[in-house]
Structure 1
Amino acid sequence: MQSKSFSARTLDANALKSFAHPLRLRIYELLDEHGPSTATGLAALLGQNTGATSYHLRELARHDMIEVVPGMGRGKEKYWRIAPGGFSFGEPEEGDPETASALEVVLDDMVRQRGAELARWREEEATAPEEWVQASVFGRRSLRLTPEETRELQDEVFEVLERYRALSDRREREPAAPRDPSIGHVVIHFDVLPVGVGRATPPPREEAPGEAIP
């Protein structure tokens, strides 16, 4: 049984290789975190020149990762936002090391971002509004499942997430209006992974005094 796709787009090899660029990954992260911004605004946050951010924004837009916000900006000024719907990526084809390397870069950045978001919330939690503290959760479960059951679990959780993603996307598409102050930027981390089924690289053995490692 194959897992369903709940994303609006699946990155092909060209899109994945384009996305696997440190500055584009950071631009995408900033747009997701802070909302719509211009090339000039992003350049200030990144310590880059506007020409560089404009180029990378166009590259992200070329692969439908971001889009121009209608009705925002004056004259030729463009505000960019994350394209609603999210994205996914499949396994690279055999014999395509460049795409496989790009996937590694993107996955490693996702792990980094998860850790940074969790650490930041641990710092902010003490001063956050009580309603948000009560609404947040750190969760972990350890289960004994077959691969088929694990895929079913994925699909069921993503079906729930899809309902709320659609609600969020509708809000993003609404014409510019005063934002409801009760609406916050909520991040959901959902990882499903088996433990101990692959071969991990053993840690290097420490040499005891007077002992030579063969």
Structure 2
Amino acid sequence: MRIKSFSSRTLGANALKSFAHPLRLRIYQLLEEHGPSTATRLAGLLGQNTGATSYHLRELAKHGMIEVVAGMGRGKEKYWRITPGGFSYGDARPADPEVAGALDYLLDDLVRTRGAELARWRQESATAPEEWVQASVYGRRSLRLTPEETARMRDQVFEVLEQYRALSDSGDRDGTGHVIVHFDVLPVGSERDG
């Protein structure tokens, strides 16, 4: 069964290998968190030289991960942003060991990043504005479902998330903040239950 993609693009083998680089991941995360930025500003945040950040920005852009923001910057100065629409890592384990290794690296980083984001919010929530605390939630459910029911639930949740991603991608609006949504669906003990 083919999994429905809720992202505008799926990263191919070359994009996976290119993205699986610590500095590129960090640049992507900074753009995601802070919005459009220049190579010079990113270099300062990362403790790198501008040449290195420029190179890695171009690599991310080559694979459609980021893009230059039209109308921002002066002269040769470029502002970069995350390409709207999201991406996915694909729905199958790559056969090529090098690509599979890159995917493993990216998934391990995803797990680490999620833990760090949860820990960060746990600390920040003590002093965050009350409306953001009230809007947030820690959630976990343990369900007994068939694979078909699980896939249907996943797709329904992604359809809702897609509506809000489109709203988020529609441009700057008053009162918005950077919101992270973690959503994982995974079988536990599937070998044992199978």
Same fold, TM-score > 0.5, yes or no:
yes
Paired amino acid for 1:93: P
Q: What does residue 32 of structure 2 align with?
A: 32
Deviations 1:17-65 (Å, cap 9, x if unpaired)?
0000000000000100111100000000100000000000000000000
Distance 1:92 1:74 in 2: 43
Is 1:185 the counterpart of 2:178 in the alignment? yes
Query: Normalized against structure 2, the TM-score is what?
Result: 0.95
- The separation in 2 between residues aligned to 1:37 and 1:15, in whole angstroms, is 22
Q: Give distance in 2, aligned partners of 1:167 and 1:40.
A: 30
Once the two structures are superposed, the pairs formed by residues 109-124 of structure 1 within 5 Å of their partners are 109-124=109-124
8 A Cα contact 1:3 1:154, kept in partner: no
Provide the rounded CA distance (Å) in 2 between the counterparts of 1:132 and 1:74: 36
> In the alignment, is the contact (CA less than 8 A) between 1:2 and 1:151 conserved in 2?
no
Are 1:164 and 2:157 counterparts?
Answer: no
Counterpart residue number, 2:52:
52
Q: Separation in 2 of the partners of 1:198 and 1:130?
A: 44
| Matching of residue 197 in structure 1 with residue 190 in structure 2 | yes
Identity, in percent, stands at: 78
Alignment partners' CA distance in 2, 1:81 and 1:37: 7
Contact 1:19-1:25 at 8 Å conserved across structures = yes
Name the structure 1 match of 2:73. 73
Q: Partners in 1 of 2:101 and 2:166 — Cα distance?
A: 32
CA RMSD, Structure 1 to Structure 2 (Å): 1.2
**What's the offset of the Cα at 1:132?**
0.4
Give 3-state SS (helix, strand or coil) of 1:9's partner. coil
Closer/same/farther in 2, CA of residues 107 and 93 from structure 1, 3 Å limit: closer
In structure 1, give the amino acid aligned to 2:188: V
Deviation at 1:89, TM superposition (A): 1.6
Instruction: Please give the alpha-carbon distance, in whole angstroms, between the structure 2 residues aligned to 1:36 and 1:168.
Output: 15
SS in 2 for 1:81: strand
Partner letter of residue 85 of structure 2? G
Give distance in 1, aligned partners of 2:93 and 2:132: 39
Counterpart of 1:149, as a letter, is: E
Q: For 1:152-172, what per-residue CA distance to the aligned partner results, in whole angstroms no more than 9, with x for missing partners?
A: 011000000000100111115
- Between the two proteins, the alignment pairs up a number of residues equal to 191
CA contact (8 A) 1:65 1:82 kept: yes
**Matches of 2:48 and 2:191, distance apart in 1:** 41
Structure-1 separation of matches of 2:131 and 2:186 = 31
Q: Give me the whole-angstrom Cα distance separating, in 2, the residues matched to 1:188 and 1:92.
A: 24
Structure 2: 5+ residue stretches without partners: none
What's the secondary structure of 1:157's corresponding residue? helix
Question: 1 CA distance for matches of 2:115 and 2:191?
Answer: 23
Counterpart residue number, 2:135: 135
Structure of higher CA gyration radius? 1
Aligned to 2:64: 64
> What letter corresponds to residue 20 of structure 1 in structure 2?
A
**1:105-152 superposed Cα distances (whole Å, 9 cap, x missing partner):** 100111111011100000000100000000000000000001111110
Cα deviation for residue 198 of structure 1 reads 4.3
Equivalent position amino acid for 2:58 in 1: R
